[in-house]
Amino acid sequence: MKLNWSVPANSTPGSRRVAITGLGVIAACGQGKDSFWQGLLEKPIDGERRIHNFDPSPWFGPKEARRADRFTQFAVGAAELALQDAGTLNYDPDRSGVMIGTGIGGIGTLEEQIVIHKEKGPRRVSPFLVPLIMANAASASVSMRKGWRGPCETTVTACASGTHSIGNAARLIASGRCDVMIAGGTEAAMTPVSIAGFTNMTALSSSGISMPFDARRDGFVMAEGAAIVVLEDFESAKARGAYIYAELSGAASTADAYHITAPSPGGNGASTCMELALEDAELDPSQIGHINAHGTSTPLNDAAEAEAIVKVFGNSAPPVTSIKGVTGHSLGAAGAMEAVAVALSIEKKLIPPTMGFSVPDPSINLDIVTQTRPWEPSAVLSNSFGFGGHNGCLVISPIK
């Protein structure tokens, strides 16, 4: 990453490389990196992607669990899985931070407490309501559990939150401010009112099938879950003998400045974001070997993303996949799940398929991966685009 932020007195000015050393994920298609990866390669069950078998007890006692909204429980669980995967970390707590994004936060608790207020009165509302629903509760909980006193922040940019969180965390390492970061996204917004709102705005699939880039696509399938990556200063990770999945080599963020839900015509904001991410990674479009698309299965967004990809890559765009055919759309957690998928794709030397895609859209001229495809890993561009016109892109590269 090309950065030159202020650095500690004992550090060399300039940009440091950022290593991905730990992966943690809790998703409907699998909990833990191995189950998650296997789930990406298998045909999903149609319908909403709710995590029915989630058990917070490995990380929370009964009382503690009641004082953490489901989105925080997901984040803590995924963070613990990622840290376990990363191995022993002995960094200065003041140079260790947490950056976990969410699109909506503790809406489950909010809806429950509104009902209690209406039916039982204000005195019965939980005194823990505010810390349960606040969007920064996930980051704060992880920070307190680990005793990490570096930057602890929450990015709230709708469906780009997870991607932006990872990019922002990587910059803290690249700049020299931090040596290690826990970063990702979490979401538990599958509540009655939330689903009704998405349904009434015609964002959700009426068929209950996620079909990214398919001619029949009719909306996204809602999901929940969390994904976390452990990011470290590359040289420090190498010195401690860490297993390094990949390098976070570039990131970018732009805004459409156009509409609260619709993408800008022609995907202009998205294409600019991709170009800036490539510039940050010091790569040409020809050096990207795969694109992990946002690909939500909505008519407008998939078309705009496809047009943006062609603007950047021309008619020789690399293979494109969207894992949302399996995972569904987990809103603020989606980009982080996709970053985990990219790291595993590099490790496994396999590109997962775009499940649900079978009928090509004649207006989309891309190489959509429809079956698990072997590949020799090279740099990957991972896209996320959120309501409000928030665009986020990451470039994740194999170690050389």
Distances (CA, A) of 240 to 77, 82, 135, 348, 377: 25, 17, 34, 23, 25
Give the Cα separation of 364 and 8 in Å (integer): 48
Give the Cα separation of 302 and 49 in Å (integer): 20
pLDDT band at 15 (very low <50, low <70, confident <90, very high): confident
Contacts of 45 (CB under 8 A, 6+ apart): none
pLDDT per residue over 263-320, tens digit each?
Answer: 998 899 999 999 999 999 999 999 999 999 999 999 999 999 999 999 999 999 999 9
Q: What is the pLDDT of residue 47?
A: 76
Catalytic residues: 159, 294, 329
What is 18-239's CATH superfamily? Thiolase/Chalcone synthase (3.40.47.10)
Give the Cα separation of 82 and 62 in Å (integer): 23
pLDDT band at 2 (very low <50, low <70, confident <90, very high): low
Domain boundaries along the sequence of the chain? 18-239, 249-397
* Model pTM above 0.85: yes
Distances (CA, A) of 97 to 90, 145, 232, 338: 13, 12, 11, 21
User: Check: CATH 3.30.950.10 for 249-397?
Assistant: no
Contacts of 210 (CB under 8 A, 6+ apart): 44, 220, 221, 297, 324, 325, 326, 328, 329, 355, 356
Q: What is the pLDDT of residue 9?
A: 43
pLDDT per residue over 233-257, tens digit each?
Answer: 999 999 999 999 999 999 999 999 9
Q: What is the pLDDT of residue 184?
A: 98
Interstrand relation of 152-153 and 225-233 (parallel, antiparallel or unpaired): unpaired
Fold matches, 18-239 and 249-397: yes
The answer to whether residue 199 scores a pLDDT higher than 90 is yes
The answer to whether residue 4 scores a pLDDT higher than 70 is no
Q: What is the pLDDT of residue 97?
A: 98
pLDDT band at 8 (very low <50, low <70, confident <90, very high): very low
Q: What is the pLDDT of residue 391?
A: 98
pLDDT per residue over 57-109, tens digit each?
Answer: 999 999 999 999 999 999 999 999 999 999 999 999 999 999 999 999 999 99
Select from 395, 389, 383 the least CA-distant residue to 170: 395
CB 180 within 8 A of CB 88: no
